[in-house]
Structure 1
Amino acid sequence: MDIEVFSFFSGLGFLDLGFEDAGFNIVFVNENNNMFLNAYKYARRNQVHKCKYGYSNEDVRKYLDDEFWANSFRDYNNQEKKIIGFIGGPPCPDFSKAGKNQGEFGNNGQLTSVYINLIIQRTPDFFVLENVKGLYQTKKHKMFYERMKRKLYKAGYSLFDSIENALEYGTPQYRDRLILIGFRRKTFGKNIHYAIGTHKVYSMENIKQCEWPTTNEFEVENDRILPSNVIEELTVEHWFRKNDVRHHLNAGDCFNIIANDKFYTIQEGDTSGKSFKRLHRWRYSPTAAYGNNEVHLHPYEARRLSVAEALAIQSLPNWFEVMPTLPLSAKFKMVGNGVPYLLAKGIALDLYGWITEYVQKEENQVSNTRGE
């Protein structure tokens, strides 16, 4: 059975790539920012997969209009031999402690309500909503979040949510994300049992038990031996080497060095500063927030990170490239805004395995009934 996925707020498509690689069929991509949408298509220019319904930069609100929806997806309601899912991470600055914190009434915050309403109106068989943990953990935002969950439950969805950290999925970055997954009871029944996180590679307990290096004196291009009691696959240097970042298309995409002593005086591994943070090569990165006045410095070079290095920290495969002609600030924004690829893939593998197992059981029951 084909599992068709409609992607909303797609950005550069890290979440989509995780779902594609897990086995889902992305049939539609909606990203209102045309610059981001062009970058999405550029990164996949050599891929075989093509979207059944194409790519759109329409305002997501237009898809709440029944006539517009029907004209856009003429065979959407023909679901006899397919399962349909929605995935999306509505813009999150209004729920982020580092962002505007305007909540559900902010320009971005309103889009979470739009996405929820779109799900309720178009009734996909399942959906995924990804956002910052502030939507779940901040008191005033959690009230809004719980209200949205009640709407979804009343509309016929059983819900499962969790705060997941990208480190546990193999990404060299400490980054918490809220994952909300809903299953339509009309499709999957009332007694749904589901667990998020079955494809984690590491446990946070084991990660914390490692003897991660703290700080070392900054020296340009010096060698530093890998410590014995760390997980190498979660280190910045491992991913820089794995992705061969020095020869990547985006290796030269880096802000020019300015006359600032901090490029030389901040120690390797010192991420305590509010703005300037220098990564340690043999440790994982803090959250890749390249906006909000954060400046992440290279571990052993007197400069900021390149776009190629930012992609590696987001655990993207080395073939993934950002369109060269885009403004540099836009490149960092779209990379930093994305869901870490391995986290996305882990969530998608959980979901794909559960759905295919459910479908197989249903088909076996039908076969057994016919044979009796």
Structure 2
Amino acid sequence: MSDQKIKLFSFFSGSGFLDLGFEKAGFQIELVNEYQPNFMAAYKYAREKMNIKPPKYGYYNIDINEFLQQRKEELKTNLDDAKRDGSLVGFIGGPPCPDFSVAGKNKGRDGINGKLSLNYVELIVNMKPDFFLFENVKGLWRTARHREYFEELKKILYAAGYIMTERLTNAIEYGAPQDRDRILLFGIQEDVLAELENRDISVFPWNKYQKYKVDEVKKMQWPEMEEFHANVETQCPQAVPEELTVEHWFRKNDVENHPNAQDYFTPRAGLVRMQTIEEGDVSKKSYKRLHRWRYSPTVAYGNNEVHLHPYKERRLSAAEAMALQTLPKDFELPADMSLTDKFKTIGNGVPFLLANGIAKTIDDFLRG
């Protein structure tokens, strides 16, 4: 199937970070579903700015459960139409995950968001796409009671005829300057796999596009905490890869001149406290000052987690946060989007380099 098209229906799309990784790898996004109106508006806005064509079957700003009920036939019709020219069609999505996050609500399967993982699995089982990607936080995989739920979801998919492979993957492995673990589950229909010659799911090439090993990166001689000095320049230590540093991505994306450069929260109080935190001190629950010559903690800003600029007396801007998510520099969020929504959608997104690496891995596997 070397010349065959591979099409995608995207669910829980947010502002499209995961989708963009697949689009840049040559996949066609044919349908987009996102429940939050502001995230959907940002998805459309960013792609208009980047001259990416809209999905053939449109944008669905609805709860995913509508596809299991009143919109079921409509989705099935679109899926059948997408397959009509011989294309393989897959579903991709990362159901909202605070119910499985140790730092989040941790309600598991019983939480509102936790149930969405089951809804996504039910959608896959009902619609039978040729393949799927399920993405979520590491808590779903590593926490014992959540892992039990994850295994139950896999059993449902297995019973529906899907052969699967999974991996706990870190964004650092793909060159992103961010310590962010995600569990990735890839599945393909058994009969579709049988039609692809010489494919063995047990040797799915997870490592093919990885540039680094997490353990090796974390053992490198990264600089320690340093006294904070505003607007003072320093040099990157030779012992560490510069492309994994915060400052490298700030420069690469020209964050000072980005359309979202001025989008950051200004505290009504607390500036004095902000000035006392050393560069590289990320040990606190809330105020973490990034080190310019290290990688960032997970880019997520819920639960009062505040990330401070390494050498400026302020919080990170949306442009800087998007740079740490390794988005292309021409990706931007709309000016009229609230700061809260901007940082929420950035924190929820999959790092672009991780998404793109996984997309190319799936493409290689499907095409042989």
Using structure 1 for the length normalisation, give the TM-score: 0.93
> Per the alignment, do residues 276 and 2 of structure 1 end up closer, same or farther by CA in structure 2, a change over 3 Å counting?
same
* Structure 1 unmatched ranges of 5 or more: 358-372
State the Cα distance separating 1:73 from its structure 2 match. Answer: 5.2
- SS of residue paired to 1:27: strand
- The answer to whether the aligner puts 1:319 opposite 2:324 as a matched pair is no
Is 1:60 paired with 2:64?
Answer: yes
CA contact (8 A) 1:5 1:27 kept: yes
Question: What are the equivalent positions in structure 2 for 1:69-218 lying under 5 Å apart?
Answer: 69-72=72-75, 74-78=77-81, 79=83, 81-189=86-194, 192-193=201-202, 194-218=204-228
1:1-372 equivalence runs, <5 A: 1-46=4-49, 47-65=51-69, 68-72=71-75, 74-78=77-81, 79=83, 81-189=86-194, 192-193=201-202, 194-260=204-270, 261-357=272-368
Structure 2: distance between partners of 1:215 and 1:6: 44
Moved more, 201-210 or 292-301: 201-210
Looking at structure 2, the residues matched to 72 and 131 of structure 1 have their Cα atoms a distance apart, in angstroms, of 24
RMSD: 1.3
CA–CA separation in structure 2 for the residues paired with 1:319 and 1:257: 28
**Residue pair 1:88, 1:128 contacting (<8 A) in 2 also:** yes
Alpha-carbon deviation of 1:204?
Answer: 1.7
CA contact (8 A) 2:76 2:127 kept: no
Is the contact between residue 210 and residue 231 of structure 1 (CA under 8 Å) also seen in structure 2? no
Letter in 1 for 2:268: I
How far 1:207 sits from its partner (Å)?
1.2
CA distance in 2, matches of 1:200, 1:138: 25
> How big is each residue's C-alpha offset from its partner over 1:303-357, in whole Å with a ceiling of 9 and x where there is no partner?
1000000000111110000111011111100001101110011111100111112
Find the aligned partners of 2:98 and 2:219 in 1 and give their Cα distance: 32
Paired residue secondary structure (1:71): helix
CA contact (8 A) 1:133 1:163 kept: yes
Amino acid in structure 1 at the alignment position of 2:118: S
**1:208 offset after TM fit, Å?**
2.5
| Alpha carbons of structure 1 residues 191 and 225: separation in structure 2 relative to 1, 3 Å | closer
Question: Aligned partners of 1:354, 1:109: CA distance in 2, in Å?
Answer: 30
Q: Determine the C-alpha separation between the residues in 2 that align with 1:112 and 1:224.
A: 45
**Does the 8 Å CA contact 2:7/2:28 hold for their aligned counterparts?**
yes
The residue identity in structure 2 corresponding to 1:334 is T
Distance 2:269 2:75 in 1: 53
TM-score for both structures, normalised by structure 2: 0.94
Partner SS, residue 127 of structure 1: strand
Contact 1:166 1:340 in 2 (8 A): yes
- Give the CA deviation at 1:50: 2.3
- Percent of pairs with identical residues: 50
Kept in 1: contact 2:101–2:139 (CA 8 A): yes
2:80 match: secondary structure = coil
Letter in 2 for 1:96: S
Deviations 1:200-232 (A, max 9, x none): 011224312321012001001011111110110
Structure-1 separation of matches of 2:73 and 2:305: 44
Deviation at 1:196, TM superposition (A): 1.9
User: How far 1:257 moved relative to its partner?
Assistant: 3.8
Q: Displacement, 1:68?
A: 2.3
CA distance in 2 between partners of 1:226 and 1:185 (Å): 49
Instruction: Give the 3-state SS of the residue equivalent to 1:322 in structure 2.
Output: coil
Paired residues, number = 356
Measure, in 2, the Cα distance between the counterparts of 1:213 and 1:257.
Answer: 28
CA separation of 1:76/1:289 partners in 2, compared to 1, >3 Å: closer, same or farther? Answer: closer
Once the two structures are superposed, what CA deviation does each residue of 1:41-82 show, in whole Å capped at 9, x if it has no partner? 0011132322110101111101113x6232345352253511
Opposite residue 54 of structure 1, the aligned amino acid is G
User: 1:345 corresponds to which letter in structure 2?
Assistant: N
Worse overlay, 187-196 or 323-332: 187-196
CA contact (8 A) 1:53 1:73 kept: no
Segment of structure 1 superposing worse, 67-76 or 245-254: 67-76
Please say which structure displays the higher CA radius of gyration. Answer: 1
Gaps of 5+ in 2: none
CA distance in 1, matches of 2:166, 2:25: 20
Deviation at 1:88, TM superposition (A): 0.2
